Amino acid sequence: MKFINVMLAGLFVLFSAGLMQAETNSRTNLNLAEITSETGEKTSFKVYGNCGMCENRIEKAAKGLEGVTSASWDRDAEMLTIEYNPEKVNVMDVHKAIAEVGHDTKKVKADDKTYKNLPGCCKYRD
């Protein structure tokens, strides 16, 4: 009988330890999620373009970079808004990636050859 009590006590200790461990894990995950959202930054800058095709091209180029979590280009204002993790990507890389697909940004100009290959409706320079 005494033996069974010891066994039960032992099981109880193991069980409690398991629960505490599980709680610690979920707390750690929560903290990581908080840190990630705290380091996420948002910024907007000028990106030249015309149409819906431009919008897709610009957003795709920005989102193609690791660390960029969202990208939205406003056709009327010709402004791109991105959310990104500054530990993984810097904004200058985003400017470069967009210029590489043919769109001038406030800081980086697309080269003429790439620009000439854009569809007619996307030619934004005059």
Contact positions vs Cu ion (CB under 5 A):
50-51, 53-54, 122
H or E stretch at 81:
strand 79-84
CB of 109 to Cu ion, least distance (A): 17
Q: Which is nearer to Cu ion, 21 or 114 (CB)?
A: 114
Q: Are 39 and 78 in contact (CB under 8 A)?
A: no
Q: Which is nearer to Cu ion, 47 or 108 (CB)?
A: 47
Distance CA 124, CA 103 (A): 9
CB of 123 to Cu ion, least distance (A): 8
Q: Which is nearer to Cu ion, 35 or 53 (CB)?
A: 53
Q: Are 71 and 59 in contact (CB under 8 A)?
A: yes
78: left (phi over 0), alpha (psi -120 to 50) or beta: left
**Which amino acid would we find at residue 36?**
T
CB of 104 to Cu ion, least distance (A): 13
Compute how many other C-beta atoms are within 10 angstroms of the C-beta atom of residue 65: 18
CB of 55 to Cu ion, least distance (A): 7
Indicate the residue whose CB is closest to Cu ion. 122
Q: Which is nearer to Cu ion, 13 or 51 (CB)?
A: 51
